[in-house]
Structure formats: C-alpha cells, structure tokens
Amino acid sequence: MFGRMEPDAITIRRAINGDERALRQLWSQYAPHIDAVVLRLAEDRDLAADIAQEVWIQIFKALPSFRGESQFGTWAHRIAVNRTLNALRKVRRLGKVEVTIEEESASVEDDHDRGFLAESIEAAAARLPKGARTVWALHDVEGYTHEDIAEQLGITAGASKSQLFKARAKLRRLLAHLLDDPKPAVGYRHVAPGR
C-alpha cells in the first residue's frame, strides 16, 4: 500500500535527477510553510523574501543529501531555520538589522485575513527584545526544544529558558488589555508622534 511519503520520495528522486517539474512541485508544496518560518524569524518582508530565496537554493543544493530518514518537510524546515538564523547573524554583523520599534510608532498591518487577536500578538511580539523574540518564535511557535534552540543560537538551554520566560512575561503584560476588554476601543485611533 502506498503511504503519504511515497509520492514525495518519487518526486524527490526526480528532483535530485534535475527534473524541473519535480523541483517546482516540491517548491509549490512546501514554500508557504518555509516562507512563513523565514518571515516569522526575519520579521521584515523584504529581508524574508531575500532569505527565503537563499533557503530554497540551499534546499535544492542539499537535496542529494536527503536520505528520507525524516519527512521532507521537517528536513526542509530545519534548513530554513538554520539558513535564516545564519543570514540574520550576517545582516546583524553588517549593522543592517536590529531597528528598535518604538512603542509610540508601532503599527500592525491592516490585513483583513487575520483576526484582531493574531494582529495583537504579532504586534506585541515585535516589541520583545530580539533574543527573547527569537527564542519565543522558535519554542512556542515552531516547537523547538530548548536544547535545539541552544544549539541553533549558540547559547545554553538555561539561557533559552530564561529568554522564553522573559518573552512570555512581557507578552502577558502587553496583551493583558485583551483579557479585560477583548474588543478594540471604538473610535480609538493610534497616531504616531509628529503627525
């Protein structure tokens, strides 16, 4: 009986042999998840788009080393996280990242496909310190263990736990108003300073 993995195995084998149709099929099947992971870690759409391209180049280069010991999606996800964190380190070294979002000028995209709660969580997460935000995204959103995070970020598991504790505590404070009044105030409009 053919399982879910067999069509992937065939597609992967064809992709390893250079079949462009198989490469496109893998990309179209897994790109939404991979792109979301990259965006969640990079937090900047333009930067995420650049990194995602690098991620897919890396995935396709590494494809011959895929042995099927794990699901392709899991394998590709790990490459995406590793490549994204490496790219962010490089960007940070060049001084192009780590722009502090001022509380007074923080904004949430007007995206009607997402609910108010999701927008609030995203805005609150953007206000976390970079290290805490990265650990929170990897642990609570992506499901990595503290040991995996420690290895990825070059920190200890204890430091990962500490960052996560700080991130959760700050998120609770930033989102406390949702528990008291889950609806946005009618007529309230946030205006950034200088406008």
Same domain for 86 and 121? Answer: no
pLDDT of residue 122: 79
Q: 187 lies in a domain?
A: no
pTM to 2 decimals?
0.56
- Which structural domain range is residue 12 located in? 1-96
Same domain for 83 and 165? Answer: no
pLDDT of residue 130: 85
pLDDT of residue 116: 66
Q: How far apart are CA 141 and CA 153, in angstroms?
A: 16
Let me know if 83 is exposed, middle or buried by CB neighbors in 10 A (0-12, 13-18, 19+).
buried
pLDDT of residue 107: 44
Cβ distance 40 to 137 under 8 Å? yes
Q: Is pLDDT of 109 > 80?
A: no
In which band, very low, low, confident or very high, does the pLDDT at 36 lie, cut at 50, 70 and 90? Answer: very high
Q: Is pLDDT of 114 > 80?
A: no
Mean pLDDT of 1-6: 39
Q: 189 lies in a domain?
A: no
Q: How far apart are CA 77 and CA 41, in angstroms?
A: 12
Residue pLDDT, tens place only, 142-156: 888 888 888 888 889
Domain count, the chain: 2
Domain boundary among 52, 73, 96: 96
Residues constituting the chain: 195
Same domain for 121 and 90? Answer: no
Residue 54: which of 94, 2, 90, 14 has the closest Cα?
A: 90
Q: How far apart are the first and last CA of the chain?
A: 65
pLDDT of residue 105: 39
Domain boundary among 63, 96, 129: 96
Domain boundary among 65, 96, 127: 96
Q: Is pLDDT of 180 > 60?
A: no
**CATH code of the domain covering residue 161:** 1.10.10.10
Same domain for 150 and 113? Answer: yes
Q: 188 lies in a domain?
A: no
Q: 194 lies in a domain?
A: no
Same domain for 115 and 91? Answer: no
Same domain for 83 and 124? Answer: no
Q: Is pLDDT of 118 > 90?
A: no
Tokens matching residue 14: 């064809």
Cβ distance 175 to 164 under 8 Å? no
pLDDT of residue 136: 87
Cβ distance 128 to 171 under 8 Å? yes
Residue pLDDT, tens place only, 51-93: 999 999 999 999 999 888 888 888 999 999 999 998 888 877 6
Chain mean position to CA 48: 9
pLDDT of residue 32: 93
Q: How far apart are CA 76 and CA 66, in angstroms?
A: 9
Same domain for 88 and 3? Answer: yes
Same domain for 92 and 1? Answer: yes
